[in-house]
Amino acid sequence: MVNTPYIINEIYDILQKSSPFELTLEALLALGVIWIVFYKRTTKKMPMSEEEILARWTPEPLVAEVPQDHPALKTKIVEGPVGKMVNVNGKECINMATHNYLGLAEDEDIKQAAIKSLRKYGVGSCGPRGFYGTVDVHLELEERLAKFMNVEEAVVYSYAFSTIASAIPAYSKRGDLIFVDECVNFAIQKGLDASRSKIFYYKHNDMDDLERLLQKQQIEDKRNPAKAKKTRRFLVAEAIYMNTGEVCPLPRLVELRARYKLRLFLDESISFGVLGDSGRGLIEHCNVDKTEVDLVSAGLEWSAATIGGFCAGSSFIVEHQRLSGLGYCFSASLPPLLAQAAISALDRFESNPRIFVELRERCRMVSDKLSQLKHFQSRGDPLSPVKHLYLKHKHESWVHEKMLLDEISTECIDNGLAVIAAEYLETMEKHCPRPSIRLTVNRLLTEKEIDDAFRILEHVSEKVFASAG
d(CA 96, CA 101): 10
In a domain, 18, yes or no: no
> Which of 325, 351, 377 finishes a domain?
351
In a domain, 116, yes or no: yes
In a domain, 62, yes or no: no
> Which of 323, 351, 379 finishes a domain?
351
Residue 202 exposed, middle or buried by CB count within 10 Å (0-12, 13-18, 19+): buried
Query: Which residue blocks in 201-281 are alpha helix, DSSP H?
Result: 207-223, 225-230, 250-260
Q: Are residues 323 and 428 in the same domain?
A: no
Q: Are residues 184 and 302 in the same domain?
A: yes
In a domain, 131, yes or no: yes
Looking at this protein, which amino acid is placed at residue 181? D
Q: Are residues 254 and 397 in the same domain?
A: no
Low-confidence ranges of the chain (pLDDT < 70): 1-7, 10-12, 15, 39-46, 71, 469
Instruction: Please say whether the beta carbons of 271 and 245 come within 8 A.
Output: no
In a domain, 51, yes or no: no
pLDDT of residue 45: 58
What spatial distance separates the first Cα and last Cα of the chain, rounded to whole Å?
Answer: 100
Q: Are residues 203 and 226 in the same domain?
A: yes
Q: pTM value?
A: 0.84
Q: Are residues 243 and 270 in the same domain?
A: yes
pLDDT of residue 469: 62
pLDDT of residue 7: 66
d(CA 46, CA 40): 16
pLDDT of residue 74: 77
Neighbours of 388 (CB within 10 A): 25
pLDDT of residue 39: 64
> Which of 351, 376, 392 finishes a domain?
351
In a domain, 38, yes or no: no
Q: Are residues 174 and 198 in the same domain?
A: yes
Bridge partners (DSSP) listed for residue 263: 234
Instruction: Please say whether the beta carbons of 289 and 317 come within 8 A.
Output: no
d(CA 323, CA 407): 47
Q: Are residues 88 and 207 in the same domain?
A: no
CATH of the domain at 342: 3.40.640.10
Spatial neighbors of 216 by CB under 8 A, at least 6 apart, are none
Structural domain harbouring 460: 76-99+356-468
Q: Are residues 461 and 395 in the same domain?
A: yes
In a domain, 343, yes or no: yes
Q: Are residues 336 and 399 in the same domain?
A: no
In a domain, 93, yes or no: yes
Determine the 3-state secondary structure of 180 from DSSP. strand
Query: What is the number of structural domains in the chain?
Result: 2
Q: Are residues 325 and 176 in the same domain?
A: yes
pLDDT of residue 377: 95
Q: How far is CA 361 from CA 101, 302, 368, in A?
A: 12, 18, 11
- Closest by Cα among 227, 229, 233 to 172: 233
Instruction: Please say whether the beta carbons of 285 and 271 come within 8 A.
Output: yes
Q: Are residues 346 and 367 in the same domain?
A: no
Bridge partners (DSSP) listed for residue 240: 247
Q: Are residues 392 and 368 in the same domain?
A: yes
CATH of the domain at 430: 3.90.1150.10
